Amino acid sequence: MYIIVAIIVVLVLIIVTLIIYNMSIHKKVTAFSNLNEKINSLNVLQNFMDTIGEYTSVNEKLSKINNIIIQKFDDLKYSTIVVFDGAEYKVKATNVDEKHWKTLVNLYNEEIFKDSITTATPKYVTVERENERLPYQKMEFGRAKSAMFFPLFIDNVYIGYWLIESGLAHAFDNLDTAMLEVIKNNIVTILKTIEYQKTIENIVRDDYYSGLKSAEYLYGEGKKLIDKYTISAVCMFRITNLENINEEGSRNVGNEIIIEISDMIKNSISKEYIFVRYMGPKFIIVFTGVNSQDTVEFLKELKQKVESLKFSKNEIDMEENETDKVFMPKLNMVVSSYYKGTSMDSLAKKLEEYLDENNKENSINYI
């Protein structure tokens, strides 16, 4: 009898030990899973930051961000970012077939999401049975079985929403909503960042006289080309006597000088290089992939050619005065190095300040 009791006691102890051990293993697995989720979240955020730092178009950037979200979460099948542009809702990024876009851009009208927008809180919806469909689905029966809707706000102003969907019911029951909130906030941050980028893209203009792009080109599409290289030489030059020529000659003479100099330089530099009219008498040449010291001889020769040009007031203004005035442009140049990923705007301001502070010079300087 005592033997049976002893055996039972031993078995109970073994069972209790196994239960404790299993609970310990479960806790470790849960902790590891949570840690893995946090690492995954950090990786997502790091990828987001890398994407912000890259230069691509606004739409390409949003599309890449959306793809990062889809790839990082196993149960997430679809992700869609919809933004209100002031006139209408537009799909900015999605992996959902275009035939469903009409439904996606009208989610703000769905009763189930209206309260979510009003209260600025996410909304989770899922089906309970296989033959059910989500409330907002029209012709897409079976495409998604669960979804989370996140309204997006910039400075308390509603600007659209982010929708994630899964083909599984209850797919997001145990998903870390805090992590999703962080991702949502980063989407908002990116939307704010690329709104500035979009503005820059839209204000680039072709200068009427020189035919060159305006300075804003350097901070948008131009930067994409420049950042293909680790280092580039940036030369800003000023036609130092342009204002005097406009006064002593005429505006027509000054305009002709701008046209002639711009054409000469465009024909003298590689198509890989970027040439813009920065402002008034100031211009910038970016020698992509070139060290600044390697431009010395070329710029000396270019300066000499430009300063040998002669412009007759009589010919340009079609006058027949006995005393003609002839004008020759003078250039002041400053050159520095641009490094990939740094601020082109800051470098341009630095070069401009140098020219403004040394406006009596007529030389080539390397800083």
Residue range 133-162: average pLDDT?
86
d(CA 359, CA 67): 51
2-11, 26-35, 283-292: lowest mean pLDDT where?
Answer: 26-35
Average pLDDT over residues 323-351: 90
The pTM of the full predicted model, rounded to 2 decimals, is 0.58
| pLDDT tens digits along 248-305 | 888 899 999 999 999 999 999 999 999 999 988 999 999 999 999 999 999 999 999 9
Highest mean pLDDT among 58-62, 89-93, 218-222: 89-93
Q: What percent of the chain clears pLDDT 90, i.e. is strictly above it?
A: 42
Distance CA 350, CA 347 (A): 5
pLDDT for position 64: 83
User: Which one is predicted more confidently, 165 or 51?
Assistant: 165
Of 85-89, 225-229, 245-249, the one with minimum mean pLDDT is: 85-89
Confidence of residue 31 (pLDDT cuts 50, 70, 90): very low
Greater model confidence, 352 or 14: 352
CA distance 215 to 211: 13
Of 135, 148, 138, 124, the residue nearest 76 (C-alpha)? 148
The tokens describing 144, both together, are 């998604």
Has residue 33 got a pLDDT over 50?
A: no
Cα separation, 236 vs 361, whole angstroms = 14
pLDDT in tens, 97-115: 898 899 999 999 999 999 9
Q: 307 and 329 in contact (C-beta within 8 Å)?
A: yes
Question: Which residue in 181, 179, 243 sits closest to 40, CA to CA?
Answer: 179
What is the pLDDT at residue 29? 47
Q: What is the largest CA-CA distance in the chain?
A: 138
State mean pLDDT over 41-62. Answer: 62
